[in-house]
Amino acid sequence: MKVWKKLTIAVLAGGLLLPSGAIHPPKAEALTASGALSPVTPKDTVYQIITDRFVDGDTSNNKPAGFDPTLFDDANGDGRGDGNDLKLYQGGDWKGIIDKIPYLKNMGVTAVWISAPYSNRDTAINDYQAGGAINRWTSFHGYHVRNYFATNKHFGLMKDFEGLRDALHAQGIKLVIDFVTNHTSRWQNPTSGYSAEDGKLYEPDKNAAGAYQFNAAGDLLDANGDGKTDNLLADPHNDVNGWFHGLGDRGADSSRYGFRHKDLGSLADFSQENSAVIAHLEKAATFWKSKGVDGFRHDATLHMNPAFTKGLKDAIDSASGGPMTHFGEFFISRPDPKYDEYRTFPDRTGVNNLDFEYFRASTNAFGNFSETMSSFGNMLLTTSADYTYENQAVTFLDNHDVTRFRYIQPNDKPYHAALATLMTSRGTPNIYYGTEQYLSSADSSDIAGRVFMEKAASFNQNSTAYKVIKSLSALRQSNEAVAYGTTSVLYSTNDVLVYQRQFYDKQVVVAVNRQPNSSFVVPAINTTLPAGTYADTLGGLLSGASASVTNVSGQNKIASFTLAGGQVNVWSYNPSLGTTVPRIGDVVSTSGRPGNTVYIYGTGLGGSPVVKFGAATATVVSSSDTFIEAVVPSVAAGPQTITVTKGSSVSNTFAYEVLTDDQVQVIFKVNATTTPGQNIHLVGSIAELGSWDAAKSTEAMMNPNYPVWFLPVSVPKGATFQFKFVKKDASGNVVWEGGSNRTFTAPTSGSADTVVYTWQ
């Protein structure tokens, strides 16, 4: 049976934060016993902000000391960004986000995802053009790390970051930071014959014990008196310690090896198999967790070593403060040969996906009309079955890596229909800053969509798009059918889709017509809604009307209705489920070790619930009707099902992956010949290696130097285990190697390589 997914209701502080309020306002009452506000859940509406492109709240940080002022877009000399040259800095900062918290709060935003907060490369990135011109770029976006332990001075100092955190938390809004562990900056310039460029990584000063040193405000300081506040740690042009793969651009190499080991756009690619790299990146991530963030958006997960990603996520969640929300950018097309790798990535690593499959289908159905609404509905059903945690996938219409949805769809009616569908579909919706104000692009590039909102929009709280988000964000909070429910398609054609979200007796039915100027008659539809009249939740905002449900020969039916051009109806049935029977909506996180904290969301969870992982009983730290904080018990590693029992009532199950212990990497190697279509996999005695079940083996090993194959695998630290290699073909046929089982002992930290074994 498909398990239900998740929930969060944080208790919010009353009233809106005024821009002139205190830097550190009182924090909202925490949901969790650990004091965290709570991870992001499908109850939330996420708002993505490119920090430099939102609002300039503090002009004093527009041109930090040592920064080339010509890299700031200020042709008129007024000290503020012009919003014209989008390759340059514009001036948005954390104070600017604080100033707009009332705007975000009123829209129903409950989580904000911001650009990477740490120090980035701050020199010009020159692209040489064929005619002799030079395009000068900056790292305004935050994806070119220089020092993970210092703030980006264009956005503010550490006290400013903490002020943003506190201001958001005071209004019950969660904070997600972008985090980049795939690369530093561009180290070779592809527009000048791959000439040497930057890509260096720095770290703070240390004390005699090796601990990083900060001043009382949390910023870097010159602790050793050498006139510098940070120190060179790794240089891709003098990589004596193997911090980078150094293989150059991926180019046309579409293999998994190419994606994971070669450069993305000439960005210096970290060797995530190196123990020193692993330790530094895990230290950096837990440093920012300690600053009180609620989640991580991981950049470029398609290009990352999944074994490293699994270990990083485990390190973050196992650090003080409990589990976090994790989602990442696994960039795919539709259709895409990497789809299977994409859909299983959350199960293999614990990091969910930005839902590019949803994005592609939505763009095609509502944007360019290249797919039918029936096809879009089929995508919802297919992915609901394919994704283990479909309601945790972060859905979106547009973001910083693709063009603006408004550029594709300039007509308000299908634009609004797409937005309403996003807000009521399975998954956790993400709104790209300015989508609610119809921000568009000058062309189809991603950079053209990274407009300076302060210059491009009036922050109008009466736009239809703004009000659609506000209304449906409230519905997502109040009716668990939207946050945790299953999806079924009740009716579909080329242009019309009627779908249902359901969590036990709670239901929401949505009827959408994407055509702006054509009306369609929808025949009577079978439904499980009780007989009665259902008002449009949007109050007619998108021309919706009420629905009538009557019983016809023992079957409840929604009476036939007409959908006018662009009309969207949202009908909600939201009965109380009571407090007696426990029902699980979602769990954060979806993997962890015994002793880790786990958060369970749903209904009927209060009183004296008994939480079990399989047959093992967990310690319950706290509980309410909608939330349980528990501790993963000592239980066999591998897949377990979580249940909540109250008296004689047992909840639905939820899938959870129990790890054996703290995860380290072992890079397995074998010399083996194969026939066309065969790949080498690994199976072993521990859960991380499938517990001798070939169907649960590792992913296929990589073979850039065939017949030698290799694969980094996440295994428990210090564990001694047995393993063998197997061959699999596309039909699932398995050939085991002969001989005795092999034995290996994992390192206690970091990573280790095996010898190159020979197939037995």
The rounded distance, in Å, linking the Cα atoms of 582 and 510 is: 27
The C-alpha angle 114, 118, 122, rounded to 5 degrees, equals 110
Contact 593, 318 (CB under 8 A): yes
> How are beta strands 496-503 and 486-492 bridged, if at all?
antiparallel
Give the CA count within 13 Å in the CB-facing half-sphere of 136: 12
The rounded distance, in Å, linking the Cα atoms of 568 and 581 is: 34
Helix pair 412-424, 464-478: axis angle to 10 deg = 20
Q: Which residue in 707, 669, 665, 704 sits closest to 247, CA to CA?
A: 704
536 is catalytic: no
Contact 184, 236 (CB under 8 A): yes
> How are beta strands 583-588 and 597-603 bridged, if at all?
antiparallel
Contact 587, 642 (CB under 8 A): yes
Instruction: Identify residue 243 by its one-letter amino acid code.
Output: W
The full DSSP string for 177-230 is: EEE--SEEEE-EEGGGTSEE----EEEE-B-TTS-B-B-TTS-B--TTSSS-SE
Considering 329, 371, 436, 454, which one is annotated as catalytic?
A: 329
Note the Cα 196 to chain centre separation in Å: 33
**Which tokens is 446 given?**
């991603």
Considering 299, 480, 536, 657, which one is annotated as catalytic?
A: 299
The rounded distance, in Å, linking the Cα atoms of 264 and 303 is: 8
Helix pair 306-318, 275-289: axis angle to 10 deg = 40
**Which tokens is 240 given?**
């004596």
Query: Which residues, 6+ apart, have CB-to-CB distance to 300 below 8 Å?
Result: 180, 182, 183, 264, 328, 329, 331
329 is catalytic: yes
Contact 248, 194 (CB under 8 A): yes
Instruction: Tell me phi and psi for residue 184, to 5 degrees.
Output: -100, -115
Query: Which residues, 6+ apart, have CB-to-CB distance to 553 below 8 Å?
Result: none
Buried b (16+ CB within 10 A) or exposed e, 277-297: bbebbbebbbebbeebbbbbb
Contact 590, 350 (CB under 8 A): yes
User: For the chain, what's the residue count?
Assistant: 760
> How are beta strands 654-658 and 638-646 bridged, if at all?
antiparallel
Contact 438, 465 (CB under 8 A): yes
C-beta neighbour count of 691 within 10 angstroms:
14
The rounded distance, in Å, linking the Cα atoms of 111 and 41 is: 9
The rounded distance, in Å, linking the Cα atoms of 451 and 720 is: 54
Query: Which residues, 6+ apart, have CB-to-CB distance to 593 below 8 Å?
Result: 314, 318, 632, 658, 659, 660, 661, 662
Q: 49 vs 18, 21, 52, 166, 604, CA distance in Å? A: 20, 22, 8, 17, 35
Q: Is the C-alpha dihedral spanning 610, 611, 614, 619 positive or negative? A: negative
The full DSSP string for 383-415 is: HHHH-TTGGGSEEES--TTS--HHHH---HHHH
The C-alpha angle 364, 368, 369, rounded to 5 degrees, equals 70
Q: Which residue in 401, 403, 453, 472 sits closest to 107, CA to CA?
A: 472
Q: Could you list the active site residues?
A: 299, 329
